[in-house]
Every structure is written in C-alpha cells, then in structure tokens.
Amino acid sequence: MLRCKAMRQLDKIMESNLKSLNERQLQFHLYIRRIKVQADASEDELRQALKEWIGFTSHLDDMAYLCAPIFFNEKRQQN
C-alpha cells in the first residue's frame, strides 16, 4: 500500500505541473505508471495520456489503483 500512497501523491504533484514537464519527464511519469504510448508520441500526446490517467484513477480505491494500468491500457487501445 505504500507504493499506492506514494503514486497518488505523485499524481497530485504531477497534475499541477503537467504543462511544465519536458518530454523526458513525461516519459518517466508514464513509465512508472506502466502506461503504454506509441514510441513516436508527441509531447502533447504524452501529456494527454497522463491527463486521462488522472481522470481514470481519481475515483478508484487503493487496490483498484494498483491494477489500473492493465485496464487503462486496454481502454486506450480500444479508442
């Protein structure tokens, strides 16, 4: 549960600074959340994926949050 609490705190910080993150930072935040994106995704697409992640996980309890990357990536592939 410690990982979950740390990731949720990081989500809050990242959300408020999303516009100022560079490409490498965006890729890092996607990587640690296990969010899949196209290799050639633009910075705007990386930001959008993180915005979608925040919306997707904001209402989940801690156990669901830990499994969220599986369902989030599946949902994004379908769109």
Q: Which of 14, 48, 44 is nearest to 29 (CA)?
A: 14
The whole-number pLDDT of residue 9 equals: 94
Which amino acid is residue 39, in one-letter code? A
The whole-number pLDDT of residue 2 equals: 87
Asked if residue 79 has pLDDT above 80, the reply is no
Phi, psi of 60 (to 5 degrees): -85, 145
- What tokens were used for 17? 């600074």
- What tokens were used for 43? 């910075």
pLDDT digits (tens, 9 = 90+) for 14-53: 999 999 999 999 999 999 999 999 999 999 999 999 999 9
Measure the CA–CA gap between 33 and 25, rounded to whole angstroms. 13
